[in-house]
Structure 1
């Protein structure tokens, strides 16, 4: 009676790791750990009939060129999928939509060239870790990935690994649709600069890895972008920093930033006299930067010029006032004459205004003017042709004007 239960237990124990339960051909299934492994089996597609109890699926070292929604069906319990080194080149739309409990996805070591905008979309956004290191085949794949991150509904993603993809630049706002991302790994790429808006929208970032890239320095806009991240851990070591005058802003930022930087690994790569010298604490004189000194000299010269100009203008004003003082009597006489002249003119205008405003004086003035015109006409008829009549306000004066005979040339 006791032998039968023992045999049943031994049978289950010995068969569980292998084929006693349903397992795809060429794969190994482990019921105890709920794991299915298909490693280096030259598979051309994801094997069907993966046991429903599986939580971890490891398919690596095969020749699977395309994956789609039909590759993963009835796998609601799967939480981890490792698809590394399978030479995958294409991910179709909603490839992982059936994996509603997927937490970890590893696509590293593939050759992705075509990524559908909704390839990573999963209902409920359960995905927390995404490994795409050494997986992007070309720049178009980066563009596709940027779109997939935007339309993938990855609001719950916490960790993203893009290391080793030979990235030369990052599109602005590439990670803006990953609001809860905490760890971003961009190591071992070819990045040369960080542009404004590269890390926008990442309010919960804790770790940023930029080691082993091609940074020679960080410009002012890049430093502002890094400073916006707040008190995060930023790894900047093992980059070819050129310790010239252009790096002084970066050195100043290292000395005052609130971010936790691996300053011991941030060292000069050139020039040779500063090779392997730590950037933090590096003085301006050490990097041979004379621009600040020249700037101070220029500012001092400009201040001196303004002072000299002020002295010259003050001296000219004093000379002008001294000349006015010496000619004060003449100035006073000239002012009095100008005042009398202005007063005479104003009195004349006032007198004319009184005459024009009184109708009686206006008639008298008109009759007087008419009589003067008649008298002048009569005299002009009686006098010789060389006589000129000049009218003055009080009376008429007749002057004899003689004309000289013309001169023949």
Structure 2
């Protein structure tokens, strides 16, 4: 079934959760210039080229020209990968839900086009490692949830470029508390000290 969303230019909230969508075609939401909330949770998205549920991969440019978007909910899909450019047309997005997917990798700069992002939930995925630049250019990020993944170690400077970070949730990960984590521990202590001042 195809739904033509171009006819609904004044739509401010769209919930398409609990469908069997597997792909979103490029430009699927491009005419929804007033949209504030897009909820695609509980689908089987594997690819977001533009619109679909059951997403596994969100291709660059899939979500076009949505400057008023306040929340993007992609939780409980099949997303495996977050690449740079995925969210490039959401410059004012403050809230992003990517929890309960199958994300194993966050590419460096994947969120760099989201300078207004304040809240990012990536819990209950399959992340094993966080690349140092995965959270670059997120000056407003104050909440980051990476709980219930498979993270064993974290590079020392991973969170240092997040000046507003107030809550970092890392519980329920299989930590390898060895020499590789010493640098992270020391940089985290320095980050907390600088935040408290």
Do they fold alike, i.e. is TM over 0.5?
A: yes
Match of 1:248 in 2: 182
1:146 Cα deviation after fit: 4.3
Match of 1:234 in 2: 168
Match of 1:258 in 2: 192
Say which structure, 1 or 2, has more relative contact order (CA 8 Å, 6+ apart).
2
Match of 1:184 in 2: 120
1:170 Cα deviation after fit: 0.6
The change in CA–CA distance for 1:147 and 1:254 in structure 2 (over 3 A counts) is closer
Instruction: Give the alignment partner of residue 122 of structure 1, picking from 44, 61, 65.
Output: 65
- Taking the TM superposition and a 5 Å limit, the aligned residue runs for 1:323-402 are none
Q: Kindly indicate whether the alpha-carbon contact (under 8 Å) linking 1:234 and 1:260 is maintained by their aligned counterparts in 2.
A: no
- Taking the TM superposition and a 5 Å limit, the aligned residue runs for 1:50-69 are none
Return the alpha-carbon distance in structure 2 between the equivalents of residues 135 and 259 of structure 1.
Answer: 37
1:85 Cα deviation after fit: 1.7
1:134 Cα deviation after fit: 2.0
The change in CA–CA distance for 1:255 and 1:98 in structure 2 (over 3 A counts) is closer
| SS of residue paired to 1:242 | coil
The change in CA–CA distance for 1:147 and 1:136 in structure 2 (over 3 A counts) is farther
Return the alpha-carbon distance in structure 1 between the equivalents of residues 194 and 172 of structure 2.
Answer: 16
| SS of residue paired to 1:241 | coil
| SS of residue paired to 1:234 | strand
Q: Kindly indicate whether the alpha-carbon contact (under 8 Å) linking 1:227 and 1:259 is maintained by their aligned counterparts in 2.
A: no
For structure 2, which runs of at least 5 residues remain unmatched after alignment? 50-59
- Provide Cα deviations, 1:307-332, integer angstroms capped at 9, x if missing partner: xxxxxxxxxxxxxxxxxxxxxxxxxx
Return the alpha-carbon distance in structure 1 between the equivalents of residues 123 and 65 of structure 2.
Answer: 27
- Taking the TM superposition and a 5 Å limit, the aligned residue runs for 1:198-213 are 198-213=134-149
Return the alpha-carbon distance in structure 2 between the equivalents of residues 208 and 223 of structure 1.
Answer: 16
| SS of residue paired to 2:168 | strand
- Taking the TM superposition and a 5 Å limit, the aligned residue runs for 1:4-83 are 44-46=1-3, 70=4, 72-83=5-16
Return the alpha-carbon distance in structure 1 between the equivalents of residues 108 and 189 of structure 2.
Answer: 27
Return the alpha-carbon distance in structure 1 between the equivalents of residues 70 and 12 of structure 2.
Answer: 10
| SS of residue paired to 1:258 | helix
TM-score after normalising by structure 1: 0.41
Q: Kindly indicate whether the alpha-carbon contact (under 8 Å) linking 1:217 and 1:247 is maintained by their aligned counterparts in 2.
A: yes
The change in CA–CA distance for 1:80 and 1:260 in structure 2 (over 3 A counts) is farther
| SS of residue paired to 1:160 | strand
Q: Kindly indicate whether the alpha-carbon contact (under 8 Å) linking 1:234 and 1:259 is maintained by their aligned counterparts in 2.
A: no
Return the alpha-carbon distance in structure 2 between the equivalents of residues 170 and 259 of structure 1.
Answer: 27
1:149 Cα deviation after fit: 1.7
Residue 89 in 1 paired to residue 22 in 2?
yes
Number of residue-to-residue matches in the alignment = 184
Give the structure with the larger helix fraction: 1
For structure 1, which runs of at least 5 residues remain unmatched after alignment? 1-43, 47-69, 262-409
